[in-house]
Structure 1
Amino acid sequence: MTIRPSRCSLRTSSGNHMPLPLKDLAKLNQIIERIQAGRFDANDVDNLLMKLRPYAGRETVFFEVANFVAHSDARDRGLAQQSITSFVDSIQYFREYVSENRPLDLGAPFPAYLYRLFLSQTRLADERHLKDEHKMSRTTLIKKIEANFSIDKKTGTCSLRNNKGGVELFEALRFVTGFIHSRAAFHVNDFHKDLKDVLRVQRVSFDEASWDAQTDRISLAVLCLISNTEFQLADGSQASCKLETENYFRLLSGQRRLPTGKMSSDPSTFGQLVVLGEATVGSTNMVPLRISFPLIDTNLDPHEHCHPTLFLRDHGPDAFAGCKVEIINFAPDMSLSADFKLVRTDSIVG
């Protein structure tokens, strides 16, 4: 089987239609009034999430984000955790099989993480191509995977069930694991859509135009809540989140040499603010590999939303000889200033 990187998708479900208690509704109205007037802080966003969390659909982005507030310890479920696990599994597969030119024998027991990989990559596969080439939908292939394989939790392996399998299934699995990419678990805009849906279902009044005017500030508060959050993966290892930009530096002058030997003046911008997921990929007889990848996307420009003190300029390392570079000095814990600029928490505490 060969491999090239695939994409990630997201589904939502309707929320809890149980009505809000009158006391909570009154508190929510006060929070919403402050937000719409632009006189709020990150604590108001924190309280908003906590008040509405019990009424959100369990597979919505809003519920996922609200869980970052509700669970201060390492979490072991949710869309972000699924995205991290899927990416770690794909990199482990690439290291152990693709880069080593090692064939995967489905007729013998194989590592259980590959079963997760089959399922996650099927959910991300091109539906039209899967139907055209293999005469089955994503749903059909998922059912076949679940019906044809069994997991042995004691040995951590997966095996074909008796008299199961077949050429059609194996060819479909070769297809879905042939294109493995990473994509953010969700965009912060998805959170805002779900938040409005919960407010409407609960008949909480808000002014659309006034609310939308504060969207970026709400997003910044959400990013601060999520940064430095930890996750527990299926194998018991830890993953974490941190606030970053799409490019961790930008060139102000000069050119750098790429691994290909070509000279480049890119990146000239930081890109947008993102939340990165970080995890360690452990592979048999290989040195552990630390990886990072986009977990939450935004349209937020760091120059507009980061405090000026975060930007540092210097001459680049040896690989960037002759270049002047700029970086953003993020910390694991980030906060918001009174004028809603991102600042390091350690710069305002103590």
Structure 2
Amino acid sequence: MSELHFQYLIWKGKQMAIEGFERYKVEKTVKKIVEGNFDENTVDGLLMGLREHCASNSVFREIAHFVAHNKVRNQGLTNSELEAFYLSLRHFSEYVGPEKRLDFSVPVPMYIKKLLMVQLDKLTDAEIRKKYRERRKVLKSRIDKLFNFDEGKGTILLKEAVSNPTAKLITDLLSFIQARPVFTQQLVLDQIVSTLNINNLMFEMSDLVLQSDKIVLCILALLHNTTYETADKAISKCYISSEHDLIPLGPLVGLHGEAVVNSSFGKLSLKGTVPVNWRGRNNIWAAFSIFLTDLLVEDWCEPSMVKIVSVGSTSGLPTHVLKVDFDRPLFINDDFKLQPL
């Protein structure tokens, strides 16, 4: 990394490289990690030690801030993604699934404007230029100026009739639901390496890579059972999960009569859930993956976490399945596997 880039990151994040006794503590923490002598508390110490000494708006800072303030979070990259998902589902449940349609000739809920903004952020700059021949900043400004606000009623109303291109923009932005991971294993590891580098902390890359799976497992454990507050003060939750939730005890039958058997739960992930009020039922949760890892469930979870669960007597299908119990608080045991407290 060049000195110029290092100075830019310091200016951009308004932080200085770690120094003094704090640096000494982090150096000891890094040494423990590269030697393989660590657990989730050690990784917690690394995140805490460097959270004010990393690039702003980075994944490293996002994770570190949440671990530091592990009550209800209402800001950050994860919160933004959960909120966008929540708003999209609220719009779908109120105006797409039911017979009711969104009518902009009358006041509509204030969240619709916020949804338009977050949906625009789902599009890449290239997609925006190709589809609308405008810059993101111009379209956001256009949306921002479209409405009058009634704070008392929590509604917005179009100031005037909109042009066809603007009407198409609004229709397009309200026509899709997209949820995407905030982190991947490689992205998190790249961010850790970058943060160590900009603080001139010495380590052998090959040694760190050897510990990468364990580092990621520690971060999963630190983020398990965390909560976020999104729009409408809705509480969203994040928890460790598996790529495949269930494994049938017995073969399923495929489209062409072939036996289909899931023999693995797949990879570990952190899933985010948001509440959905569907036709008066407010106890429904929708989920998507926040953090994708390369860690196989069978390699990194204690076998005792796998339970046999009854799914009722369905004709022609297995009546019992295997399920991993992620519902309880988890820690990393001496064998470096997830285990319930």
Residues 256 and 323 of structure 1 are in contact (CA less than 8 Å); yes or no, is this contact kept in structure 2?
no
Match of 1:225 in 2: 222
Match of 2:286 in 1: 291
Deviation at 1:324, TM superposition (A): 5.2
CA distance in 1, matches of 2:17, 2:113: 41
Residues 14 and 56 of structure 1 are in contact (CA less than 8 Å); yes or no, is this contact kept in structure 2?
no
Match of 2:313 in 1: 318
CA distance in 1, matches of 2:47, 2:66: 10
Residue deviations 1:189-208 (CA, integer Å, cap 9, x gap): 22221221111111111111
Match of 2:186 in 1: 189
Amino acid in structure 2 at the alignment position of 1:68: F
CA distance in 2, matches of 1:193, 1:150: 44
Secondary structure of the corresponding residue to residue 173 of structure 1: helix
Of residues 330, 336, 340 in structure 2, which corresponds to 1:334?
330
CA distance in 2, matches of 1:36, 1:191: 16
CA distance in 1, matches of 2:253, 2:69: 43
TM-score under structure 2 length normalisation: 0.88
TM-score under structure 1 length normalisation: 0.85
Match of 1:238 in 2: 235
Residues 252 and 268 of structure 1 are in contact (CA less than 8 Å); yes or no, is this contact kept in structure 2?
no
Closer/same/farther in 2, CA of residues 100 and 314 from structure 1, 3 Å limit: closer
Amino acid in structure 2 at the alignment position of 1:327: K
Residue deviations 1:45-72 (CA, integer Å, cap 9, x gap): 0111000001123311111111221112
Deviation at 1:131, TM superposition (A): 3.2
Deviation at 1:294, TM superposition (A): 1.5
Deviation at 1:33, TM superposition (A): 0.9
Amino acid in structure 2 at the alignment position of 1:326: L
1:82 paired with 2:84, answer: no
Amino acid in structure 2 at the alignment position of 1:69: V
1:216 paired with 2:213, answer: yes
Match of 1:6 in 2: none
Deviation at 1:292, TM superposition (A): 1.9
Closer/same/farther in 2, CA of residues 95 and 37 from structure 1, 3 Å limit: same
Residues 227 and 332 of structure 1 are in contact (CA less than 8 Å); yes or no, is this contact kept in structure 2?
no
1:305 paired with 2:309, answer: no
1:57 paired with 2:89, answer: no
Secondary structure of the corresponding residue to residue 300 of structure 1: strand
Secondary structure of the corresponding residue to residue 295 of structure 2: coil
Bigger mean CA deviation after superposition, 334-343 or 304-313: 304-313
Closer/same/farther in 2, CA of residues 16 and 318 from structure 1, 3 Å limit: farther
Residues 250 and 261 of structure 2 are in contact (CA less than 8 Å); yes or no, is this contact kept in structure 1?
no
Amino acid in structure 1 at the alignment position of 2:331: S
CA distance in 2, matches of 1:150, 1:51: 46
Residue deviations 1:11-70 (CA, integer Å, cap 9, x gap): xx9544413131011111111111111011111101110000011233111111112211
CA distance in 1, matches of 2:99, 2:136: 27
CA distance in 1, matches of 2:249, 2:54: 45
Q: What are the within-5 Å matches in structure 2 for residues 199-210 of structure 1?
A: 199-210=196-207
Match of 2:3 in 1: none
CA distance in 2, matches of 1:69, 1:108: 44
Residues 251 and 261 of structure 2 are in contact (CA less than 8 Å); yes or no, is this contact kept in structure 1?
no
Secondary structure of the corresponding residue to residue 221 of structure 1: helix
Residue deviations 1:247-286 (CA, integer Å, cap 9, x gap): 211234221799xxx9973655322111111221236x62
Residue deviations 1:307-350 (CA, integer Å, cap 9, x gap): 111122466432473355321122341110112101112xxxxx
Percent of counterpart pairs with the same letter? 26
CA distance in 2, matches of 1:110, 1:341: 50
Match of 2:174 in 1: 177
CA distance in 2, matches of 1:85, 1:192: 26
Bigger mean CA deviation after superposition, 42-51 or 234-243: 234-243
CA distance in 1, matches of 2:245, 2:234: 25
CA distance in 2, matches of 1:28, 1:124: 36
CA distance in 1, matches of 2:259, 2:13: 49
Deviation at 1:125, TM superposition (A): 2.5
Aligned CA RMSD, in angstroms, stands at 2.5
CA distance in 2, matches of 1:236, 1:264: 46
Residue deviations 1:105-154 (CA, integer Å, cap 9, x gap): 22322112211211111111255454334322433322221232344433
Deviation at 1:77, TM superposition (A): 0.6
Residue deviations 1:153-186 (CA, integer Å, cap 9, x gap): 33222222x3473221110121122222222222
Residues 107 and 155 of structure 2 are in contact (CA less than 8 Å); yes or no, is this contact kept in structure 1?
yes
Bigger mean CA deviation after superposition, 121-130 or 225-234: 121-130
Match of 1:281 in 2: 276
CA distance in 2, matches of 1:156, 1:32: 50
